[in-house]
Amino acid sequence: MSKTILDLEPKEVWANFHSLTQIPRPSKHEDKIQEFMVGFGQSLGLETIKDETGNVIIKKPATPGMENRMGVVLQGHLDMVPQKNSDKVHDFTTDPISTIIDGDWVRADNTTLGSDNGIGVASAMAVLASTDLVHGPVEALFTCDEETGMTGANELKPGLLSGDILLNLDSEDEGELYIGCAGGIDATGEFSPKFEAVPSGTVAFNITVKGLKGGHSGLDINLGRGNANIILNALLMTAANKYDLRLANINGGNLRNAIPREAFALVTIAAENELTFVKYVSEFNEIVREEYSKADEGVMVSCEKTDIPEKVIDQKTQKSLFEAVSTCPNGTIAMTADMPDVVETSSNLAIVRLKDEKIELAALTRSSVDAAKSLLASQICDIFKKSGAVANTSGEYPGWKPNVHSPILKAMKTVYSNKFGKVPEVKVIHAGLECGILAGAYPDMDMISFGPTIRHPHSPAEKVNIETVGLFWGYLVETLKEIPVK
């Protein structure tokens, strides 16, 4: 009989994760998972609260003899990033996730897996449902809409939680404890193009950039991976000058916090340039494949002749768009001075698309330095504005300032050393964790983040290491035993 994730250990965690995979839960479509979580808490006879934003809080009393321990909040987010390969038929609002055991890892079938943050949520559920674990007072906070704006964390009201310590279960490297994270802000632009008749004597092509790995726009931004929007724009910009290219449609990326893996354009060119254009695309493909041969070896750029479109974008807007994209900062901008291996500031040009007769651009900037984050976002907006777009910033969230003297950090370092015979690494992550926001409502709560090893979140290559799920669970269980007395 073939093995499924229900056969994996620890069974209580994997069983909960399997349940989560069966419930559609992309960001902004979380009614079903919220309803499921409320029912889960009520089925255990535990106090269960759903606030007006959609956060779910479940409270469990201490086990006998542990009533004098500090209260612990186990925190994770309910939503997942919906990403799939273009040839995969899957509706994230209705279809369950199909899981596959692939050697030492669990992955999905050409979609995101949802281990970010499903494993953390499943582990908190296992603590709530346990009858034999030892722990003090526990509250589980399951936030909503983390991936597209951290809405749940931003809207959480003071007074709903009474815990002293927050364990964020949303990190992605076993054996590492995170005590700080980057903040973020969105910079967006919008062009209002005019549409013109297709020039006579033209032929049309669909241009495709695909095969990129993509990934998390914070965790993977320093890996040198290709950005499909940047690659496509380089081709279009050059071809506009060489082959009288006119743009009819463009669609690259769809999530602000994912490095865009695919981008598409519908263009026309002068019929007399058809053969040289096809040759140019082929040569461009070889150049791109050579450039990304190590970081993104699967990249492919291609063109296919198609029907003539009804209209094209005016040349002024087309030129302005190409210039805006080509000058928009993208990738790693600065490294942390006192932690040379940690990205300080970055930007991800996540979206370039024609929608409802507007051309949308969206970049997510991140930094552990608030001033650098705001400055970079302003610079991107200025670039968009100078190109003729309407631009603004939105969705700003704070970073989480490290506290190396944190009592829970000291306690968890000791627990890890005693359990595994080595010292855990203490790090700051270049990604948005909810701790910084939650600290605004609960400034006296001591916080730390940890989790199992997850690779390539926010992309269809997402996978979670099976062994580390067991290590993470064992560490969580042991930590709850050793929470200090009030």
Catalytic residue numbers, as ranges: 79, 146
Comparing CA positions, the residue from 350, 352, 348, 353 lying closest to residue 330 is 348
Structure tokens at 435: 């701790």
Q: Is 232 helix (H, G, I), strand (E, B) or coil?
A: helix
- Cα separation, 275 vs 438, in Å, equals 58
Task: Determine if the peptide bond prior to 10 is cis (ω within 30°).
Answer: yes
Strands 72-77 and 138-143: parallel
If phi > 0 it is left, if psi is from -120 to 50 it is alpha, else beta; for residue 209 that is beta
Q: Is 311 helix (H, G, I), strand (E, B) or coil?
A: strand
- Across the beta sheet with 138-143, the strand order is 47-50, 56-60, 138-143, 72-77, 165-168, 446-449, 176-181, 425-429
Angle at 102 between CA 425 and CA 109, to 5 degrees: 105
Comparing CA positions, the residue from 292, 274, 251 lying closest to residue 205 is 274
Structure tokens at 30: 């979380």
CA distances 315 to 153, 198, 280, Å, are 44, 12, 21
- Cα separation, 80 vs 316, in Å, equals 39
- Cα separation, 177 vs 156, in Å, equals 24
Comparing CA positions, the residue from 439, 450, 442, 438 lying closest to residue 477 is 450
- Using the structure block, give the residue that is written with the tokens 């060119």: 269
Comparing CA positions, the residue from 113, 134, 135, 122 lying closest to residue 169 is 122
- Cα separation, 463 vs 438, in Å, equals 28
Angle at 188 between CA 183 and CA 190, to 5 degrees: 175
Residue 2: CB atoms within 10 Å: 5
- Cα separation, 7 vs 237, in Å, equals 52
Q: Please report, for the chain, how many H helices and E strands are present, in that order.
A: 11, 23
